[in-house]
Amino acid sequence: MFMDRRYMQMALDLARRGLGRTSPNPAVGAVLVKDGRVVGRGYHARAGTPHAEIHALREAGAQARGSALYVTLEPCCHHGRTGPCTEAVIEAGVTRVVAAMTDPNPLVAGRGLERLRRAGIEVVAGVCEAEARRLNEVFIKYITTGLPFVVLKAAMSLDGRIATRTGHAQWITGPAARAAGHVLRDRYDAILAGVNTVLADDPSLTTRLADGRGRDPVRVILDSRARTPPGARVIKQQSSAPTLVAVTPDAPAERVAALKSAGAEVLMLPGDGGRVDLRTLLTELARRELTGVLVEGGGEVHASFLSAGLADKVVWFIAPLIIGGRQAPGPVGGDGPATLDGAVGLEQMTLTRYGEDYCLEGYVRRGEG
């Protein structure tokens, strides 16, 4: 069992190389072991390219016969963008398969492992499963619910302010925390902000990594009345990713036309109390195979996602600053609950340090708030 976990950790490390690049597919790593020696490695790099198992089998060549395959997700058994990995594993003569977890995709859901068993291959499942599920939390949410995985991200002071009373917010956190924020942008398919954030800060909402290789997420602006200036940076900058502006039928036609002329794609969506209906928006983003959404507020947008029960995870960067001020905004606005019974609970909390700042991460506890 120890060696199974050791080799699975290798496969998980390989899988992480594909994070942010495989959507709408999961990130998967694979390792082939024969006579106590690794003979093949692979990971899924992009949708439409060979899966992790195929890369590992190609590297191993003839040595794959009689080997054990360690893979972070059950091998697929259906024809999608590529052929079924189960048949390649069987044909290569692999005699043992260790999978971290079954595939939640209804097209697979245990059928891949059953196909391997029927071929006479020893199958073990559940090794490092919790870690594998965390690795592919975005894919799991998307494939099982038809909605993207939603992360609320904020940078705030120790006393819970995201800006001063005048709106000044650059920069609350230091360089290391801001760099970590750009790693998050690189890993999610879309980044979402409200029009008030655009009007106040004119952000670019792009990915800026130190090596210059970051991928820009699709920019999504919540803007029920099309108030985004056509010259805003989210629209006019050079980027390989498009900008989507979500409006309601109440948006003036001339503003909508101006945004389209400036290069934005306008999504006309149903309204909910004068605001864009968030569930409809998320359904549309999932239809476009945008599986993960990083929400960078502000506070009213965060409150809307929490009150609608549509947030999955919270990532809060906290700086050793005390800003103060009754009018200084916080990371979550809205009316808030009348009693603590209505507060949103978090679980599986982790704490990471970035320079002088800290990052708290937690998952929204379902059935509360």
Q: Where is the binding site for substrate, in residues?
A: 185, 205, 208, 296
The annotation places the binding site at: 51, 76, 85, 155, 171, 185, 197, 201, 205, 208, 224, 296, 298-304
The CA distance from 87 to 9, in Å, is: 25
CB 354 within 8 A of CB 190: no
The DSSP element (H or E) to which 3 belongs, if any, is helix 2-16
The CA distance from 152 to 45, in Å, is: 26
CB 209 within 8 A of CB 183: yes
- Whether 53 is catalytic: yes
The CA distance from 343 to 338, in Å, is: 9
Tokens at 199, concatenated: 């009007």
Q: Any long-range contacts for 34-37 (C-beta under 8 Å, 24+ apart)?
A: 34/60, 34/63, 34/64, 34/66, 34/67, 34/68
The annotation places the binding site for NADP(+) at: 155, 171, 197, 201, 224, 298-304
CB 192 within 8 A of CB 223: no
The annotation places the binding site for Zn(2+) at: 51, 76, 85
Nearest 5°: CA angle at 122, between 121 and 127?
130
Q: Spot the catalytic one: 53, 87, 265, 289.
A: 53
DSSP conformation letters of 326-357: TTS--S--S---SSGGGSPPEEEEEEEEETTE
Active site residues: 53
